[in-house]
Amino acid sequence: MSNKYDVIVIGAGPAGYVAAIRAAQLGLKTVCIEKWRNSKGEGVNGGTCLNVGCIPSKSLLDSSYKYYEAKNQLDVHGITTGDVSIDLKAMVNRKNKIINQLTDGIAGLFKVNGVDSLFGTAKLLASRKVEYITHDGDLQILTADNVVIATGSKPIDIPVAKVNGTSIVDSSGALEIIKTPKRLGIIGSGVIGLELGSVWNRLGSKVVLIEAMDEFLSIIDQQIAKETKKIFIKQGMDIRLNSRVTGTKVKGKEITVTYKDSAGQETSEIFDKLIVCVGRAPYTQDLLAADSGVNLDERGRIFVNDQCETTAPGIWAIGDVVRGPMLAHKGSEEGVMVAERIAGQKTQINYDIIPNVIYTHPEVAAVGRTEEQLKQAGDEYNVGVFPFAASGRAMAANDTEGLVKLIADAKTDRILGCHIVGPSAADLVQQIAIAMEFGSSAEDIAMTVFAHPTLSETVHEAALAVNGHAIHMPNKKKRK
């Protein structure tokens, strides 16, 4: 094995493995180091996303929704079934099979692109040197012209609810549950809490989400957040806002959670399983030597500029370990940008147009600015809203909950944001992300021909509604 590279990538999650592949494609001698090991103790690529994050959670979300639909929603289509049951072990095994397929796929991509793949731990030293220790304990010093840090993030621990891996689990442990808990508590009602809550709510658990914030999904457009909360409560999820957990006690197979409720009263609730998902923190443990020259910001993230350069020459950092939303696709695009900039190109990411999705059913998706952000900035804007209840395609699919909201600049009509809760929201919002990248106006979308009947027509009607021209619903304000 060579000790000298053009590029060393530390971490093989969505940010790191993409950076390594793109660097190799550009003719740079590249190695990618990953410390993750599977249940057999074997080194695997993919990081959190492929192993215990995006992919496995979506597998369980899809499996649980198919079960829920078969059990509760097929009769409206005239389909009659007998008793519907689910084998949770088979569901989890399917999830694991998908993980193996994808992690093996990364190994294949590394091979075909000429990326050297190493498993073990890495530490950044001074002068672009990396201390690499194999899982067997062998140590080597690697050097490179450029080092890309892509070490990702880890679940945040809270002292009042210590994860024990059995009765109290984090988001990773929640993916391995093979028996439906009768009473499931979730601390945190953010993206991860809602997705995991959806899975077990569909499978028959009584789900209670305990959230310290007094606003539901405070980071998204609040009209969409209110509609989303209404839908989830209708589905049976118990969402308790402004509730701060003060302690947990495990006794036998039960967990008692105490918290101060919205009225300031001390309250307790008993659960059979507790999931802690209060957010994620950047992973920098044992990563940086004191003389590496790389600085952290006030939140423990690696400090970088808009091009993902750190404070040390030739050292870059991407993905969850740096500023910005902790999204796999954001990290991947940063990986491409950094690889291309190392190769001398001038690639730049438009951070204003990064879609964000919650993969519940219905999905929640957004791109661009919210109405609250625009109000705070004092910007003038117009809003177009269209409900899925008025969509023929949504009616045909028996999937009519939610709405599309499109926001455009009042003077230029340029699209500023799109926020959706509803079926296929992630794919619909992507249409607007593409339009925004090209500087489209609401009128541009309104004048585009959309196929009928499709869910995409909801986006078309919302664009028409921005200027009071919606066809399939009354307009709040008509303009000439």
Which residues are known catalytic residues? 452
Q: What is the largest CA-CA distance in the chain?
A: 75
For the chain, what is the radius of gyration of the CA atoms? 24
Torsion sign (Cα): 9, 12, 13, 18: positive
Distances (CA, A) of 280 to 60, 172, 202, 294, 360: 21, 12, 25, 21, 19
**H or E stretch at 248:** strand 244-251
**DSSP string spanning 387-438?**
EGGG-HHHHHTT----EEEEEEETTT-BEEEEEEEETTHHHHHHHHHHHHHT
Rounded CA gap, 454 and 232, in Å? 25
User: Which three-class secondary structure state does DSSP give residue 162?
Assistant: coil
Token reading at 326? 């902790």
Decide if 158 contacts 186 (C-beta within 8 A). Answer: no
**H or E stretch at 382:** strand 381-387
**DSSP string spanning 171-236?**
TTGGGG--S--SEEEEE--SHHHHHHHHHHHHTT-EEEEE-SSSSTTTTS-HHHHHHHHHHHHHHT
Rounded CA gap, 20 and 1, in Å? 17
State which amino acid sits at residue 29.
Answer: K
Exposure string of 109-134, with b = 16+ CB inside 10 Å and e = fewer, is bbeeeebbbbbbbbebbeebbbebee
Residues 6+ apart with CB under 8 A from 235: 198, 201
By C-alpha distance, which of 308, 414, 436 is closest to 366?
436
